[in-house]
């Protein structure tokens, strides 16, 4: 391992959104930890096999791993990394903290915060990036007198002599076409972590200018070249389905996302859902009668036969609401359908060369075990933002350490 390289480890890596951004920012990965096979398969295909991005140690199999088993079985190997790892990045699964979900204080996934801290104690990196949902900063209602999880993480890191700062970041201010708010924490051993946020905000306009995009990207900017009217053909990975083909590039954001892809190739994961006739009629009703850009519920009475918890008809002139793992919450701005996986990925800032693996969707009890493509995208850290924070970290690390 070369000493001059900025080496990072991605834990709770999902399908690799954070790692894509760090790759684009010039970081070098050592390894990535992800428990789910579906998500890891996507990361492996793109970043390990295709881009050769990870060095990967001999003592760790290139496969999906559970962080608790890794800590238990490889404690000595992890401790041997002290002084060699610049960054540990990632955040535990967010579903137990999400304000949009059940917010169960007993959700077992919440305990992975403790696993995260244990991993940090073993490796002791120079820098830490921790990402989670906005709800991570909010106490559970039934927990009187207890500190919120974000305070616990900050206290533990400060006890390890890290400088710790955090912010709630709105991704729509950093070139992403969605109003996605996330808790971002940065901890540093030898620098003031507040500097990272200062650089991040100061450089967002120059970053977007360099990449030829606007800091306020609209939905139309993001996906208008993927509309069904641009053409379709038989899906190469789903029998009985149609997949979209590329239309003409209509924005600089599309040009950026399509870099290193071939126009004539079928767009990865751009498979259209085979909606039933009554569903198409419902979507047409929503396009005609529902207020655009506003989440509505069945009780609002805009349309009949709406059996979804909530739905938003996208406003092409602004940003989307937060992309989640539930695809039928968003309706295309001009076509009577939900979005494809690739359209979700565009809104998350994944480049089109990044190919997603596994099933498109799962249902019933399988949802507890499988992480299909829609879920992989919805759970990811947006790569376009991850690249910016990766660059901000490198700039601060290049400065003289604090005394």
Claim to verify: residue 248 and residue 282 sit in the same structural domain: yes
> How many independent structural domains does the chain possess?
2
DSSP states of 155-200: HHHHHTT-EEEEEEEEGGGGT-SB--EEEEEEEESSS-THHHHHHH
Same domain, 114 and 172: yes
377 within a domain of the structure (yes/no): no
- One domain, residues 185 and 282: no
276 backbone φψ class: left, alpha, beta (φ>0; ψ -120 to 50): beta
For residues 136 and 64, membership in a common domain is answered with yes
**What is the rounded distance in angstroms from the CA atom of residue 142 to the CA atom of residue 380?**
29
**What is the structure's pLDDT at 105?**
53
Residues 343 and 393 in one domain: no
On whether both 328 and 392 belong to a single domain, the answer is: no
Largest CA distance in the chain: 68
Please tell me the predicted confidence (pLDDT) of residue 98: 40
Which of 181, 183, 184, 255 lies closest to 214 in space, CA to CA? Answer: 255
Q: List, by residue number, the catalytic residues.
A: 94
* Contact indicator for 125, 79 with CB cutoff of 8 Å: no
pLDDT at 366: 74
Does some domain include residue 369?
Answer: no
Residue 370 forms part of a structural domain: no
> Which residues in the chain come in under a pLDDT of 70?
1-4, 94-110, 136-148, 263, 364-365
Q: What is the pLDDT of residues 255-280, one digit of tens each?
A: 999 999 976 778 999 999 999 999 99
Q: Could you tell me if 207 and 230 lie in one domain? A: no
H helix or E strand, kind and range, residue 29 = strand 28-33
- Indicate the DSSP class of residue 291: P
Say if CB 92 and CB 130 are below 8 A apart: no
* Contacts with 293 (C-beta within 8 Å, 6 or more apart), sequence order: 312, 313, 314, 315, 318
3-state secondary structure of 304: coil
CA atoms within 13 A on the CB side of 269: 27
pLDDT value at residue 227 = 98
Distance (Å, whole) CA 64 – CA 255: 33
CB atoms within 10 A of CB 124: 18
Q: Report d(CA 273, CA 349) in Å as an integer.
A: 22
- 163 shares its domain with 62: yes
In a domain, 187, yes or no: yes
Query: Would you say residue 296 lies in a domain?
Result: yes
Instruction: Look at residue 102 in the predicted model and tell me its pLDDT.
Output: 45
Q: Are residues 37 and 112 in the same domain?
A: yes
What CATH code is carried by the domain that includes residue 339? Answer: 3.90.120
> What per-residue confidence (pLDDT) applies to 100?
43
Residue 373 lies in a domain: no
Compute the radius of gyration of the chain from its Cα atoms. Answer: 21
Which of 386, 373, 378 shows the shortest CA–CA distance to 42? 373
Residue 286 in domain = yes
Q: Is there a single domain that holds both residue 68 and residue 134?
A: yes
What CATH number did the domain enclosing 84 receive?
A: 3.40.50.150
What is the structure's pLDDT at 146? Answer: 47
**Residue 127 token pair:** 């820098």
The answer to whether residues 84 and 20 belong to one domain is yes
pLDDT digit string (tens) for 237-259? 999 999 999 999 999 999 999 99
The verdict on 136 and 259 lying in the same domain is: no
Q: DSSP string of 120-139? A: HHHH--SEEEEEEEGGGGS-
pLDDT in tens, 330-381: 999 999 999 999 999 999 999 999 999 999 998 766 777 789 999 999 999 9
Can you give the pTM of this predicted structure? 0.93
Q: Identify the pLDDT of residue 71.
A: 97
**What's the domain range around 143?**
7-213+382-397
In a domain, 376, yes or no: no
């Amino acid at each position: 391992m070369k000493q001059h390289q900025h080496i990072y480890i991605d834990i709770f890596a999902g399908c690799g959104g954070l790692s894509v951004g760090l790759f684009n920012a010039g970081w070098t990965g050592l390894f990535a930890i992800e428990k789910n096979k579906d998500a890891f398969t996507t990361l492996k295909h793109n970043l390990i096999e295709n881009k050769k991005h990870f060095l990967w140690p001999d003592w760790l199999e290139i496969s999906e791993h559970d962080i608790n088993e890794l800590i238990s079985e490889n404690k000595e190997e992890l401790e041997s990394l002290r002084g060699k790892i610049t960054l540990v990045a990632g955040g535990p699964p967010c579903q137990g903290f999400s304000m949009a979900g059940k917010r169960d204080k007993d959700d077992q996934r919440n305990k992975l915060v403790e696993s995260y801290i244990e991993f940090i104690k073993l490796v002791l990196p120079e820098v830490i990036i921790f990402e989670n949902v906005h709800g991570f900063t909010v106490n559970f209602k039934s927990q009187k007198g207890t500190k919120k999880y974000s305070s616990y993480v900050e206290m533990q890191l400060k006890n390890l002599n890290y400088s710790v700062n955090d912010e709630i970041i709105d991704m729509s201010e950093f070139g992403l076409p969605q109003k996605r708010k996330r808790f971002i924490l940065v901890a540093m051993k030898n620098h003031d972590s507040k500097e990272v946020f200062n650089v991040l905000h100061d450089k967002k306009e120059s970053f977007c200018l360099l990449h030829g995009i606007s800091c306020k990207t609209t939905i139309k900017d993001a996906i208008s070249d993927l509309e069904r009217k641009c053409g379709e053909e038989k899906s190469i990975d789903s029998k009985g389905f149609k997949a979209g083909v590329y239309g003409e590039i209509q924005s600089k954001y599309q040009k950026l996302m399509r870099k290193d892809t071939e126009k004539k190739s079928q767009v990865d994961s751009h498979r259209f859902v085979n909606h039933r006739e009554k569903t198409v009629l419902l979507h047409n009703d929503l396009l005609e009668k529902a207020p655009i850009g506003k989440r509505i519920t069945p009780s609002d009475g805009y349309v009949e036969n709406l059996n979804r918890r909530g739905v938003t008809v996208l406003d092409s002139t602004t940003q989307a609401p937060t992309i989640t793992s539930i695809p039928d919450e968003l309706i295309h701005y001009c076509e009577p359908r939900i979005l494809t996986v690739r359209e979700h990925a565009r809104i998350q800032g994944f480049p089109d060369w990044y190919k997603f693996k596994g099933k498109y969707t799962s249902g019933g009890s399988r949802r507890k075990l499988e992480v299909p493509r829609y879920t992989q995208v919805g759970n990811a850290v947006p790569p376009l933002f991850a690249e910016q924070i990766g660059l901000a970290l490198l700039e601060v690390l290049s400065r003289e350490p604090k005394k």
